[in-house]
Amino acid sequence: MQLLNPVTAPPKDKGRQKDDGSLLSPDGMGHAQDLETMCDRSRSPDCLADDPKAPGSQQPPEPPLPIFSGCHFYLYNYPQEKETDMIEKIQSHAGVVEAHYGPHVTHLLAKYTSKETKKAEIDGKRVTTRQWLRACISKRQLMDVSPDIPSHVPLPSAEPVPGFVGLNACVTGWCDKPNRWMRFDTQYLIQSLGAKMHTMLSREVDILVAQDGVDSEKLSKAFQWNVCVVSHEWIF
């Protein structure tokens, strides 16, 4: 896959009319959406555009497996609505959610690094994130908590990265179910760092993050429209 310069995205021709088609958002403007809401959907809204062979209707959900059996979770610094969703997912997969941090806790899930997460690490707990939880459910197995996967480590700060603020970003690839968690992780990191995530490609987009080896209509249009294309390693 050819990669363009990821630092200075080519200037956009704001005066030209956008093409109409499946690559654009429903209103044709490519508006950014709330990433947490977008990633809660069972299928990313532009996967059909990325993967023409994908079925038009979703398959019935697979029954949950007891992948969190023996795991005791403590949730920290997530909004209440996210905690409610996480609790449901953990319990439906045989895990236990503790109301208080204590010796029984095996995993602490946190969005940001704090003195609590550092204490948990000292105590020998597995400190990870909601994205790790989603990845386990997507792969239907208990995954190791690896510092090599940035989205599975709490963010260092709630503050955005200055270089990402104001960027408009889009993602292509990772549409197959076993790897869909990687798509969600990439989208999550982009927005957490301060950029705006767009579900569909348009000329308003500054950066298209593409899966290595992907051959999609989005990628072709990105080169045609001079949209900067990078791999997900650039974010990490």
More confident residue, 89 or 155: 89
Does some domain include residue 27? no
Q: What is the pLDDT averaged over residues 194-222?
A: 90
Q: Where are the beta strands (DSSP E) in the chain?
A: 72-76, 96-97, 107-110, 126-128, 168-172, 196-197, 207-210, 228-231
pLDDT score of 25: 38
Give the 3-state secondary structure of residue 126. Answer: strand
User: Would the pLDDT of 27 be above 70?
Assistant: no
Average pLDDT, whole number, for the chain? 78
Residue numbers of the domain that contains 128: 72-152
Could you tell me the CATH number of the domain that includes residue 136?
3.40.50.10190
pLDDT in tens, 130-158: 999 988 998 899 999 988 788 898 988 77
SS3 call for 194 = coil
What pLDDT is stored for residue 213 in this prediction?
86
Judge if pTM exceeds 0.85: no
Whether 7 is in a domain gets the answer no
Whether 81 is covered by a domain: the verdict is yes
The pLDDT of residue 73 is 98
Beta partners for 128? 109
Handedness of CA 48, 21, 217, 10 (dihedral sign): negative
pLDDT value at 40 more than 80: no
Burial class (CB in 10 A: 0-12, 13-18, 19+), 79: exposed
SS3 readout for 91-102: HHCCCEECCCCC
Looking at the structure of the chain, the number of domains it has is 1
For a pLDDT cut of 70, what percent of the chain falls above it?
75
Is 8 contained in some domain? no
